[in-house]
Every structure is written in structure tokens, then in C-alpha cells.
Structure 1
Amino acid sequence: MQKNYNKEFHLMATVFDENLSWYLDENIQTFTTAPKTVNKEDEGFLESNKMHAINGFVYRNLPGLSMCKGDKTTWHLSGLGSETDVISLYFQGNRFLYRQNRKDTISVFPHISHTITMEPDSMGQFEVVSATVDHYRGGMRANYTVEKCGLFQRQAEIMRHSKTFYIAAMEIDWEYSPNRTWEVEMFRGHEDNPAHVFLEKSDGFIGSTYKKVVYRQFTNDKFTKEVERTPDMDHLGIMGPMIHASVGDKVKVVFKNMASRPYSIHAHGVKTESPDVYQTKPGETHTYTWYINKNTGPTTDQEECSVSAYYSTADVTKDLYSGLIGPLVICRRSWARSLGLKKEVEEFALLFLVFDENESW
């Protein structure tokens, strides 16, 4: 047993390419329904043999990842594969410490290992997943369980401070490139301008305007007056409002779904009232509660504020590509900032993302 720790786990995340196994031909003969019809060069067949696994299990089948609330837990994380297999492991529900920094996601490059520590305070069943879309859909997902092991342990927490935000999901037409003067300067009339494929409507293409669903902030629970963005927040673009919270805050998000299908609003790596995220139906309003406790905010070795995100979890991939994401900034509590005595620095939130409109709702 490792000293000073209650639980110790090792996760090895890799894509087992069964096409390169010594036993491929034997597996075809043994396990396929019609071995003579198999074409080993078929793209679909090749892809089907790439098993996106954690410790050799796919789609949440890995057993044994259970612990008690508050257990001192150490995770050893490894990755294998080629230079394309950059695995980003995200622990839902609870954050961890890595090199004295509190995080919820860590990148594991091939043949490099990391050790992280966790004292889980959110109970329930959660996932540890590779957040890369290809890995996530391919099944690189495992469940871990945090159990109630003490009489006085509870999920909800008593927080000294409270904040409320009124946010709605709204459908809009989004223009990716409202101004195209940059093309003249960048390409000066050359025929190799790649922008035409993405921005022009000719030849059966959609162009640069797409229907999206976005998060937008309102003044109260009537949801009649939208909060106008100040000039310093215009840069957020398609993203939802920048939500600020400090350690010790109980954040209530009154969420109204003004769109045409079920959505939710969930804070990345933040403790909530329930491990299951409620799906808000179209036209419905639901209140989500986030607990910004000491295991959520930055450590004293980190910068004063750390950035996270909030998004919809009805279908994480399709909801994200449809437009539902916003920045969440969590800071150590500062009375000077709370009283307005400390001048804030300028803040920018930048989201680098290939919006795959083929995956949009």
C-alpha cells in the first residue's frame, strides 16, 4: 500500500488496433459470423477493430473504481499509441491535484505517465473519459463511484455566499464571417483562397450562416429582458456569458430552455446537487445548483483565478457543436475584489474549436 493514501488506481488509455495483432486472422475465423466474407482492407472493418479502451475495457465496463467520499486517492495515468493519440482524460464530478494545481482534465501523451491525487467530495457514479470526440464516441470511457461511507456525509453543502444567474438557451442564425475584407489583404485575388469552400453558398454549399443554439443571460426569472453585452464582452461571440464565482459561493443558475429540444447547463468539474444532470425540456425552466468549494477553486500555488467551462450534457458532442458552451471563471475569495477595492485586470475568453456542423442538431 502507498503510504497516506486510501486508494490507488492505474489507468492505461490506448487505442488497441486489433488490425495489427498477431491474432487477427484467428479472430476473424473464431468470432465473425461469416469469415469468408471479411475484407481486411475495408475501411469500416479496419475502424471496427480499433478498440478505444481504458485498461482493456470500452464503454464504461472497467470494474473496481470505487472509493469513499474524502478518501485520499492516487491515480496513475498512462497512454500508449502513436503521435496522433493525444488523450485528454476528464474526471467528471471531482477535481484533482497535479503539481499543486487543481484541475479536472489532463493530457496524456503516448508513453508518458502522470500521477494525480484526489479527495473526492461529490458522491455518486461519474465517468472518467477521454474528452477527444473520436475517443469518447469510440468508447474510451470508464465509470468511477464515490460512495457515502460516513453517517454525516452529504452531497449538498452549506455555503456562506450565494449568486444567481438567469440564463436561457436560444436558437439564432449565426454568421461565422460577417466581414470578409481580410481576404483582400491575405490573398490579394489569388485563386488559391481556401475561404470560398467554407464561406460561399455556390456549388451546393451552405455558406457561412448556420442555425445555432446559444446561452444568453437575462435580468430576472421572467426572461423578458436580455442582458446587453458590454464592449469588453463583445469578444465572447457565440459563447455564453462569462460566469464569475469565488470559493465559498453557492451558484444557482435559473435556466430556461427557449430552444426546440432538451438541453441542460452543467459546470465542468464542479460539485452539483446530483451526479445526474437534469435535462430541461423545451419551454421548461429548471434551477441548477453549483457548489464552489475549496476542492473546486485554484490552489495557493496557482493564479488567483482559473478558467473552466459550462455546457449542455443532453448529448455532449452534438450540443457542443450546436453552440452551447460558455466560460466559467473561478477565483480564490478576495474581500478586496468583493468590495470593489481591487482593480480587475482585463479578461478575455477564447475558445478554439472546429465547429463540425455535420454533427449539429
Structure 2
Amino acid sequence: MPGVELTTSDNTHIIAIFREDINTARIEQFIGQFDPPRSQKNHQLVLGSGSHSIIKGARQSSDDILIIPAHVDRIKGIFQNTNQIIVNNAFAEKPHAVELIGNIEDIGLTYQRALIENLAHVKGSDAHSIEEMGRSYTWVKMSEPSFDGLKVALLDPKHCIIRSPDDCPQPGSVQITKISIKSKLCKNDGNGPIEIDLSPWYTAIIGSRGSGKSTLVEAIRLGLRRDNNKYLPTDQLKLLRSFKDNAFEPDSEISIEYRKVEDLYKLTWNQSGEMLYHKNVNGTWDIENTFSSSRFPVSIYSQKMLYEIATENGAFLSVIDSSDDVNYDEWLDQHTNLQLE
């Protein structure tokens, strides 16, 4: 995303971040409306307009621009301005966030803390020496880096923004990274598989009745070979058999990509059989023959299964018994063998 740091007539720095497809002419047009002097070079440019006007101008183009007062608590930050009216007027135009280098508790004036307490606080990666590189950052929760993702994250800073030195959350050691399905009704316009990339944090599949949500769940169950679990309810087993018999053609296939720390695996299922692959350092898939469900832990529950867990005696115990951690059947076999010895 392109961005510029502007110096206003009241000696304040403001960051403007633009949508990905904005071109240089649009950026120059935006800056040009704030009375830039003709004689100064870009890095020396002091605009003729104040903070209030620039923030207001950006908000009027809010579909394309995010406006953030820079390092508000440091030199050339807006809180260095002793004119409270100018500061209040600037924040009355509702910037999208503020860059805060320190902590809000360290800001001495109560009115300044009140102005930013409900805004997102970010910190740029700007470094003025080699030693400072990488020490300052903001972690933003979004599925992939994008203008719209950043814009949404700034609306919910409590859950979507983390500033250094606080640690960023780390993804789990295991994750389903991608689902690929090709069946009678599940294919793209080119007759190829539908592919869905999954977030390491959380992915929600939303759709009306009959739109295919359960298809995805059962496809994961088949791809990860969880279709022979004796603890599955009878109705669920019938649904799986119907799914296998009626939803797939000879060239249909389910593919599940599964990450374990840094290793990536692919499990496939079709009517001819099941395969397991491991991605090598060259980026190609090698066949593996050592599948075990314990290598690929996952919990899969349909809506009906969740209902049974909540209402039927013993249903939750069955979930525990069938888990990879407990594996009651394996324990029972070992127990029986020990008794026979």
C-alpha cells in the first residue's frame, strides 16, 4: 500500500495510507489540495494547510485513504502543539488511528488522553539507525495484508491491533491450511476444484441452508480419514455413506493441506483410494506411506453431533474416548493384552 508522511502548517506530521490501486497522480492530487509550496523538495515539503484541514480532506475520501497523526507523543507530533483548540479541531475530524510511540498513560494532559483513548494506537517501523531496525512494529489481525483489512482492523483495535514491545500471537503448531474439493456440485467455472484457504486463527463459513456448509465439514472428515470412527452417530455414518456414493464422480477428489509446525502435508481422498504427501524443500509433493490419525489431530462436529453432546447421556464421554489423547480403544486393547499375559 502506498503511503506518505505529510508536514502540516502547524508543524505536525500526519501519515496518509492509500488503497493498493491508487496511482501517483491521485496521491499528488490529494497533496495538491493542501497548498504545497512549489520551491521545496518532497522531503522538505511543508504544506500550507493545517492538521484539521488535512484530516478532514482525507476523511472525505475515506474509501481510498487512511489518515493517522504520526508519533503524537514525540517531536512534531500533534500533542506538541500547545494550542488546544487546534488539537481539538484536528481530532474532531476523526482520524482513523494515531501513531503512539510510548503509552497512553505517559501522556501528561488529560484532554489529550481522552482524545485518543477510543482510537487505534499503532506504531510504525521507522528506524533511524541499524540498531533500531525491527524493534518497532504493529501487528494487525487480517486474513491477508490489504487496505480494507487494515481499515477494518483499526475499527476494532482491542482484538485486532498489537504494538511492540508486546508479543505478537503465534499461530498454532498444527493447522488445516487449504481445502480443495471437486464433486458433482462442487466445482469452479472451469470444471476444476474449488479451493478454500483457511486462516491460522479462525475461519467462518457462512451460507444459507443447502449452500454446502455441511459438505465442507464432511469433506474434511473424509480427507483426514475420520469416517470410520465407531463413535460417530448412526445418522452421521449414513450421511457419510450417502455423501460418498452420490456426491462424487470418477474424477472427483478431496484434498486437505495440513501444516505441522514448518512441514506441509496433503491428504487426498477419491473413490479409488487415499494418499498422503509431504512437501519437500523443492516445493514438490513426495508420497508418504506412514499415515496415522494421531499425526493429524482434528476435532470435527456436525450440528447434529453437537446437539447430541449437549442432550444425550454419555455422548460427551464418547467424544473423550475417541480423542487422540485418550484413545480408549487402544488403551482397552493394551489392558486386555496385559491381563492375558
Query: Is this a same-fold pair by TM over 0.5?
Result: no
Specify which structure has the bigger relative contact order, considering alpha-carbon pairs within 8 angstroms and separated by 6 or more residues: 1
Bigger fraction of residues in strand: 1
Larger radius of gyration: 2
Which structure shows the bigger proportion of residues in helix conformation?
A: 2
TM range (shorter): under 0.3
Instruction: Give TM-score, length-normalised by structure 2.
Output: 0.24
What's the TM-score once normalised by structure 1's chain length?
A: 0.23
